[in-house]
Structure 1
């Protein structure tokens, strides 16, 4: 049996957790640069506010109905997610963190849970909400897909009280018959349209299809879904996989026309990407950067620039990568373009211990130095380089980095954040309650 723990309206409830005055009040969270609605509390959903709608279209509506609006506070959400997942891991030995607000549990490894799944599900929900304060829905089924379906029922039907266990064949069949196929995990709008064209409108109609027929029309992915609906597990619990590529990009709060400002933005993204690279003990072979103006601009045609740098020796050294990025940017920069977005991508990633030895190193000692890395996962060509990057990482880890301030130690090419008026606009940003002691609420 599998369980799926899903945090309800995660971003919105993270904001409400530290604002008791917002209990039972509508709340929405906006995307980067306060562009679109990306999260809604249950009260906001009842008001009819749609997911993904541009904020300017509902701004007056939100003011009229006293909807509290927040900019995205990624630091807060990431920390609250870590707390939820840590709590779950104390209650089940086998956990797969599926997303920032979802986790799969494999209950066969936990005999105590298998004794009474309903009791275990209720206990799991109570403990998470008590320890962390984030409401969750829990679905339990014989496969991952069935657990997803059960979780859908736990959210949709109040009678479940947030916990749905699909054990009874009678209830499984009934739920499948009243659930549209488009609500199924992995069935998007295109698949739904194609399934409807074949006369498949409900989950039950898909479940009774011949898997070979589904594979013929849709491929192996939907065939596995069909098999899982019939209790045949095709998707096992997965360990956290290392990223094959790392991307850091953001839209600007205003159009950028100055080459120095664009360079600062690119360098900032390189630093963020390099930090993520070291955290997974990896090095990279290629660095790709890009920038473009808005595709909706009427003042000038759409223009995009991009370039790539290949490192002779794989690296995770922020200084080396920033130098490479600046070199590439200088060669591809186009003047008089009103840039709306920029970013970098790291490619050709591998673990530091997988790096091939340097054939042209002068000695065995140098080859070993070039091939191995320190505990931060950074490919080093010298002990001095390793020490510098290690100290930078330790200082930034110790003193933290929240939404309002720059890293404690950074490369000068990144510029000083307080002086950068092109940074992402977040006018309604909430405090970092859990990661910055200076932003804790105060009482008098």
Structure 2
């Protein structure tokens, strides 16, 4: 997201700026991009998703929201997943316009104050959050990654993906020179189980940025899982982070940890030079592996 307020005399209209960005990205990287323009982040994002991805560029001002965005299904709108869409449908809400016209108190009662207000205000094109954030402060909140499977995954298959996500999150922590105390694991079961979830968190005695520790934490959490059902979605996150210089060494494991840290740091250098497929676990070559498929995508989408 960028804002170009006050730059018209330098770069031209917002459409001219968008076309130049598209042209420059394609010229340098060979990647076609879609751009959406709006008078706030939410409108720009929804416009890009619903209209811009087909045409390459789309714009929507406040007075166009009703005609351009409201006719679209809530299932196609950013920020509304399948579970929320089903709950909205149960209330007779199928389009963004119907959501925008639903009384705020009804949405707050059904979805809670925070989510109810977000649904209402976003459907009406209202967003008061700033475009820019402090990247350092954002980084300190934690990191997360997840994936939705195209088919049902068994627990053994899912362990392959947890290894991949652990490697990815640990590498992201190290790239910011951070370490995390808390590891969070969430899994959504197949639709046959009505979208039920398993969600657990564990706080370690010492902060870490090593993949092996993140993976072990997930294995510990799953030992509490009493539903051996096929899995369709998994996400991992690390929170409660500190700078890696503040890590307290364990008297009994520090030597092994330092060896592991040297190994994972060496892997970071290889990945930085050759990409995520430059070196990876052999298990990622199995049918359950997702790393190679994700490496073909940009922002979660195929090139």
TM-score normalized by the length of structure 2: 0.58
Deviates more, 1:243-252 or 1:274-283: 243-252
Structure 2 residue aligned with 1:424: 289
Specify whether residues 163 and 430 from structure 1 end up closer, same or farther in structure 2 by C-alpha distance, changes over 3 A only: closer
**Residues of 2 paired with 1:338 and 1:395: CA distance?**
37
Indicate whether 1:217 and 2:106 are aligned: yes
Structure 1 residue aligned with 2:71: 179
Structure 2 residue aligned with 1:234: 128
Task: State the Cα distance separating 1:352 from its structure 2 match.
Answer: 1.7
Q: Show CA shifts across 1:260-309 (max 9, x none).
A: x998876665444433333344333345679999887xxxxxxx999876
Q: Show CA shifts across 1:206-235 (max 9, x none).
A: 77x5xxx73212231133225536xxx423
Indicate whether 1:164 and 2:58 are aligned: yes
Mapping for residues 19-418 of structure 1, pairs under 5 Å:
104-108=1-5, 110-112=7-9, 115-148=12-45, 150-151=47-48, 152-155=50-53, 162-166=56-60, 169=63, 172=64, 175-176=67-68, 179-180=71-72, 182=74, 185-186=78-79, 189-190=85-86, 193=89, 203=97, 214-218=103-107, 219-225=116-122, 228=125, 233-239=127-133, 241-242=138-139, 244=142, 246=144, 270-287=166-183, 310-318=203-211, 320=213, 328=220, 345=236, 347=238, 349-353=239-243, 373-374=244-245, 379-381=247-249, 388=259, 391-400=262-271, 406-407=279-280, 417=282
Structure 2 residue aligned with 1:99: none
SS in 2 for 1:136: coil
SS in 2 for 1:130: helix
Specify whether residues 288 and 127 from structure 1 end up closer, same or farther in structure 2 by C-alpha distance, changes over 3 A only: closer
CA contact (8 A) 1:314 1:379 kept: yes
Q: Show CA shifts across 1:144-200 (max 9, x none).
A: 3332454334445x6xxx43344595xx27834883463655566347647756xx9
Q: Show CA shifts across 1:236-273 (max 9, x none).
A: 2253533546466897999687xxx9988766654444
Specify whether residues 399 and 265 from structure 1 end up closer, same or farther in structure 2 by C-alpha distance, changes over 3 A only: same
Specify whether residues 217 and 404 from structure 1 end up closer, same or farther in structure 2 by C-alpha distance, changes over 3 A only: same
Specify whether residues 396 and 305 from structure 1 end up closer, same or farther in structure 2 by C-alpha distance, changes over 3 A only: same
Unaligned runs of 5+ in 1: 1-103, 297-303, 354-372, 408-415, 435-444
Task: State the Cα distance separating 1:392 from its structure 2 match.
Answer: 3.0
Specify whether residues 132 and 284 from structure 1 end up closer, same or farther in structure 2 by C-alpha distance, changes over 3 A only: same
Q: Show CA shifts across 1:10-64 (max 9, x none).
A: xxxxxxxxxxxxxxxxxxxxxxxxxxxxxxxxxxxxxxxxxxxxxxxxxxxxxxx
SS in 1 for 2:36: strand
CA contact (8 A) 2:147 2:234 kept: yes
Unaligned runs of 5+ in 2: 108-115, 299-303
**Residues of 2 paired with 1:201 and 1:313: CA distance?**
48
CA contact (8 A) 2:181 2:204 kept: yes
CA contact (8 A) 1:176 1:202 kept: no
Specify whether residues 248 and 227 from structure 1 end up closer, same or farther in structure 2 by C-alpha distance, changes over 3 A only: closer
SS in 2 for 1:120: helix
Specify whether residues 346 and 165 from structure 1 end up closer, same or farther in structure 2 by C-alpha distance, changes over 3 A only: closer
Specify whether residues 396 and 273 from structure 1 end up closer, same or farther in structure 2 by C-alpha distance, changes over 3 A only: same
Higher share in helix: 2
Q: Give the number of the structure whose alpha-carbon radius of gyration is greater.
A: 1
CA-atom RMSD in angstroms: 5.5
